[in-house]
Chain A
Amino acid sequence: MTESLAISKFSDLANPTRFLALAARLLPFMAAVTAILFAVGLYLSFATEGDYQQGMTVRIMYVHVPAAWLSMMCYTVMAVSAIGTLVWRHPLADVSHKAAAPLGAAFTLIALATGSLWGRPMWGTWWVWDARLTSVFVLFLMYLGLIALNRAMDDPSRAARVSAVLILVGFVNIPIIKFSVDWWNTLHQPASVIRMGGPTIDQEFLWPLLIMAIAFTLLFFTLHVMAMRNEIWRRRVAAQRRMAARLAGRESGSEA
């Protein structure tokens, strides 16, 4: 009984019209909380002390690490949506992974750029082809490939199915990124927050990092809901234009 209720609640939410109504209610709240968290996070990022070895460059961590986390979380959200497309053939799942791809590409770009800007003063080089940096660069290329694939096909449901297969095949890269620093000898440091045995990072840096990470995550979900709403509207515009063209064709046929 409770299971069927949960399924019916989920399918209610999965209805695009209900999703639009829910998005309209949630978005102002999500945007406000994101802005507040960013204000607090940025204040703490610049109020905390520097690291005894890295000095003030440790502040780069507060944008680099959340962006890198999000680049992987966004792909995981896309992989879950891809399962929704292939197993349940749900149009909202199609919309979800299509809308998330540009967001994932943007956060991966931030992670790559800020990592490069951190690497130069700390490692003495902008870039090195080690396992972590290369696997994240491959992730960035995969996002670009998925955006291009979605734009290359006219039929959205066919594009969604092809993209979904590609997303699930590409998901193999996510554990490679996460464990690359353990499996291979890399210039990039190993995990210091999400690891067995708890974080090894000092409390001084942990709080601003966590608040910035929550702010980035909420920003992603806010933008994802907005982009999904835009995609639903885009599909409605296309469907209504097709309907108008059919009606115009029928009217001109009956006149003749």
Chain B
Amino acid sequence: MISILIRRILSLVITLLVVSLLIFTVMDLLPGDPAAIMLGTSASPDTLAALRTQLGLDQPLPVRYLAWLAGVFRGDLGQSYTYGVPVAGLIAERLAVTIPLALMAIVLSVLVAVPLGVQAARKHNGVFDFVAGLLSYISIAVPAFWVGLLLIILFSTTLGLMPAGGFPGWDAGFFAGLNALLMPAVALALPQAGVLTRVARAAVLEVMNEDFVRTARAKGLSEGIAIWRHAVPNAMVPVVTMLGLQFTFLIAGAVLVENVFNLPGLGRLAYQALSQRDIVVMQDVVLFFSGLVILMNFLVDLAYLLIDPRLRAGAQ
């Protein structure tokens, strides 16, 4: 078990290194010179050269890569060209918006999807199942940013009940912050809820007729209790796996939703950095996203190892 773990962690580090090299080269290949963007169309060549030196862009590629990598290992992610502040701080500030947003979206989607999925499985091929299926397909098909716009039109513009966007900051109060994240979380949760409903329905359907559920019913438990206490917990493994994978999608999918709701989250930072060619920020954010995906996959792998003894035996 320990040796598998060590091997997995080693491959994780190597993957991250390869990814970092890829990120760096791709960012370097991107057309556009950050110095030229900063100084606009009137800048003279010597001003551009001065700024390139100031930003360290005049160094050769391998030197810049190693310097960046060494910095990352020390926990120094470099300075943003546009903001002029350390990137680590920028990312941390943005995570204070994006992580709560993603968590809220997950909670909301589970709250909607699990009951819907379970009920659809119980009444499978019935009207409820059909309607739930239809709804989940619609929610998968409808883009989250569009749902966001509709929510803004209804709750902010027309009814004036919710803020139209923006984020007051957590120091404005926990509830003010939560309030600002509620609509974006709903928009973000909807497509996830659609996917999860399908997964939950299939999973419950599979275990519903297993022996242990039948035994539970035979013991005289009501249908509802048999399903919720015995079938659902056993059907949760694929749902939880899906959630783990969805989490990274949620963080990435937040880019558009954060733009619509004008939330200062990580997605918007990435978007802004890209259009400004704030390359250091781009590299760090993409590395962070990649690290997150790699870590999530690692955790899912680990979970399988824990759940399924056959995998453990096979690996030895």
A interacts with B: no
B residues near A (Cβ < 8 Å) are none
